[in-house]
Chains A and B, each alone.
Chain A
């Protein structure tokens, strides 16, 4: 409970005694490059395979029935990618890559007195170091999820065609069939929330690292673990709140 309180105080400190807008603008752009562009390759790779595997597994479950048309395969793949796989499962990978890196970076800055150096200069180190990362992550993760959706569907399409599971026209028909635009809004709301949770928890754990190199590793591990738990809890709450009947 004490740590949760400390986390909210940490969040409050993000907005007190800030530096100029120009300082944050440049830092945020740098972080967007690191977090967003730096994750593109990994997201593309994972999403292509997730889409491909989804298509094969959905086909395996459905093609036994003569009453189910083939385009339903891509319809199911679309719903799985949009509602859960791209925003949530990719966030677990994102927590490992970006969250671990944020916590490790801040932890190292803490133990090498770089954070103390900022404080002594009269700079609010929490705001200076964490705010750009949190803003960048909250903005970039939804974009990464959109990119991941596109890659996932391309992966599914390619595998569907190459393995003759579904015809190109049927796959496209399935993607368009009974499409509810709110699912995209829902996915983006989740993505924004997860981007914020992962970055803020990782910043928090990294910032308060104490000790040496070993503790930096422990902080990174804790950051990833707590982020993943927070994401799963938030995932359920958002689903219940926005989709529950």
Chain B
């Protein structure tokens, strides 16, 4: 479980996050949603430690990650897997080397054990025959799947996904969403997904935090989001004409 308390962050004189608190539960995808430029990605960066919040604290299973020492932060980070928006795969390495990378650096496993784990993860994301492909040969969806395989190869306790569906077609998006949901449930890990994709929200949004202008203004699930009673949430959910028509019915 990850909890955040009173997170605020500003750049220059612009407040990006204002006093955001919440709890992200284990074994299911926790979604942070909101329109573009509302501070979702900054919040994610504050949680994983890529940005330091001006005020507030992040706890990973009770461990104070924000104010902890370097050793503790390193220990927590080695339990984290993260899928980046563009995949963030290493250009100089092929698929297999990319997925094996955390094991090479962070573990003392034998080569055979590492390869067994790599092949398991690649199979899990449906890329069992792509070991030797270079990242430049991969499609957008494949890059995301390799990114997921790399994120889970080290058996993380926490999985973070930044806009996992950006740039993907609707069918591939659903595949990626289901993969994230299955992995969260199967491995019982705390997963946080930042997205503004309504298909993801309705598909895997078992717990949703809505951010508007840097503030958390609503929390709920995909079953309650259509009846939130909050104008900003309604504007976001029913921005699409089809959704508005469905609401009318």
Q: Which residues of A contact B (CB under 8 A)?
A: 16-17, 19, 23, 108, 112-114, 116-117, 119-123, 128
Contacts and interface: CB of A to CB of B under 8 A. Distances in A.
A114 B85 CA distance: 11
A123 B104 CA distance: 12
A119 B50 contact: yes
A235 B92 CA distance: 35
Given A17-B70, A19-B105, A23-B105, A120 B86 contact: no
Given A17-B74, A121-B80, A122-B78, A116 B106 contact: no
Tell me whether chain B's interface is mostly helix, strand or loop, or mixed: mixed
Contacts of B48: 120
Contact of B105 (A112, A114, A120, A123): A123
B78 A117 contact: no
20 contacts: A17-B70, A23-B104, A112-B86, A113-B84, A113-B86, A114-B88, A116-B50, A117-B82, A119-B49, A119-B50, A120-B49, A120-B77, A121-B78, A121-B106, A121-B154, A122-B73, A122-B76, A122-B77, A122-B106, A123-B106
Interface centre among A23, A114, A121 (most CB of B within 10 A): A121
Interface string B4-22: 0000000000000000000
B102 interface: yes
Interface string B41-66: 00000001110000000000000000
Contacts of A19: 105
B90 interface: yes
Contacts of A112: 86, 88, 91
Contacts of B50: 116, 119-120
Contacts of A117: 82, 84, 88, 90
A89 B232 CA distance: 63
Contacts of B160: 120
A108 to B, nearest CB: 8
A121 B90 contact: no
Nearest to B70: A17
Interface string B95-108: 00000001011100
A114 B160 CA distance: 15
A85 to B, nearest CB: 34
Nearest to A26: B104
A210 to B, nearest CB: 12
Given A121-B78, A122-B76, 11 more contacts: A17-B74, A112-B91, A113-B88, A116-B50, A117-B82, A117-B90, A120-B50, A120-B80, A120-B160, A121-B154, A122-B80
